[in-house]
Amino acid sequence: MNKTDLVNRLRRRLNEAPIDYEGPEKMSPDIQSKIEKKETPFSSMKGFPEITPEGPNTPSSFEELIASKRFKDVVNNLKRYTGMQDITSQNAMMQLQMMVMRGMQEIAQIESENQEYLEELAVELIKKEFGIPEGALQFDAKLTKPGDIDSEGFKQKGEQPSEEEVEDMFGENEEELDDFMDAFEKFDLEKAKRRFINSLIQGAAKKSSYMFELLNRELNAINPRLLNLYGVFMSFADSLYWLMPDSMVQGMAGSGQATYGKSELDAKTDPPTVKARGVNLPILIHELAKGVMEIAGTYGLPQDKRRQEAVLKSEDTIVGEIWDMRLGPVIWEKFREAYPDELFEDDKKNLQQYFMVKFAELTPTEFFKMAKEIMSGSARGKKMVANMVQEIKDELQQQDFEDAIGGEDDDDDDMDDFLKSLGIG
């Protein structure tokens, strides 16, 4: 082997460093390959920091790093709830499937006798954990059967707009090549911003699906088996996103076989309505959290309605959602690690929503600059978050002062109006 061949081989080795595994469990080879070859919706994410590999067998990109972290969490959750240490052999998978199928039947029977109460528990939990004041939002939350969800009138995933549509919506002057290229650059930035926000939405929702543990007293009163039944179901469902081939996951999602819940935010009602459906309590909590998080998602879109539609068609896709659910939980964890401690106090949790809206409204350039610092866990990122939170507190204090002396708010400010309807503006 000559020197050139050796250098090229070493370069390939560094550029395709393996996922960092702790045990014998491995994610599906095609999923690992897409991550390492940078063939996922996150492979060129502008909000991710650059990392330096710690060795030849360690992650060489931020995407590989968070994928490694998430896969370990998923494996550990599945082992914890099922009590099984072997979870990937053929016999183990068959045993897990039988355990989950029996569990789903038992869950359905228990929930059918307590449906309204469980729906109310889910809503109250989300309102408390997300700091939503009473009356600020309407909630249309229901436990339902899998086959009934698609008949509920939820919006369908869109299709990628054509080049002509992109140029028409994002270009300034059709006759100039520079403007034509600039249109696609603007579009790519807005898409990347939506992708990052979607990862926060799905990440928060995925983490929220385990908040049923906060209802241990209420659930144990219904049936002491419920907590573990929910844990087995959710941890197994999470594992399938990593253990099954990506093409199979996409096929199931596209056919509706894996549709266990849906949600959407309707900002046209007064107050806005979060509509959510789930086949069981953890899924319903997941969908409610997703609907609440979409408040910030709405303000992260371009102001122009046609541009909004183009971005949504491009990024709110089945493939994108699958990868959001894979990587989003770790992205959300890292995001929340930058929060000041006061944002987790019960009487300050409402500031989290205000912060998310303010962050989402940043221009793409400012957005990714801040996102990269937050994801890196830097002191600068935490300072940027703290400064923004302080700005919010100052604005709210000024608003309280103006209200006290009879000052009038600007009714033309859509963001303020919407935030007021949520009780956080």
Task: Note whether 312 and 158 are within 8 A (CB).
Answer: yes
The pLDDT score that the predictor gives to residue 124 is 96
User: If pLDDT is split at 50, 70 and 90, which confidence band does 397 have?
Assistant: confident
Confidence check: pLDDT of 115 > 90: yes
The pLDDT score that the predictor gives to residue 6 is 44
* Average pLDDT score, the chain: 85
Residues in the chain: 425
The pLDDT score that the predictor gives to residue 171 is 59
Give the pLDDT confidence of 124-167 residue by residue, as tens digits: 999 999 988 888 899 999 999 877 776 666 565 555 565 565 55
Provide, rounded to the nearest whole percent, the portion of the chain with pLDDT above 90: 62
The structure's pTM equals 0.85
Cα torsion through 44, 48, 52, 54, rounded to 10: -110
The pLDDT score that the predictor gives to residue 401 is 57
Write 333-341 long-range contacts (CB < 8 A, 24+): 333/203, 333/207, 334/66, 334/374, 334/375, 334/377, 335/200, 335/203, 335/374, 335/375, 337/377, 338/374, 338/377, 338/381, 338/382, 338/385, 339/385, 339/389, 340/382, 340/385, 340/386, 340/389
Confidence check: pLDDT of 54 > 50: yes
Task: Note whether 375 and 62 are within 8 A (CB).
Answer: yes
Angle at 372 between CA 193 and CA 35, to 5 degrees: 75
Three-class SS state of 317: coil
Give the pLDDT confidence of 257-305 residue by residue, as tens digits: 667 899 998 888 988 999 999 999 999 999 999 999 998 888 999 988 8
Confidence check: pLDDT of 178 > 50: no
Task: Note whether 19 and 36 are within 8 A (CB).
Answer: yes
The C-alpha atoms of residue 415 and residue 425 are separated, in whole angstroms, by: 9
Three-class SS state of 214: helix
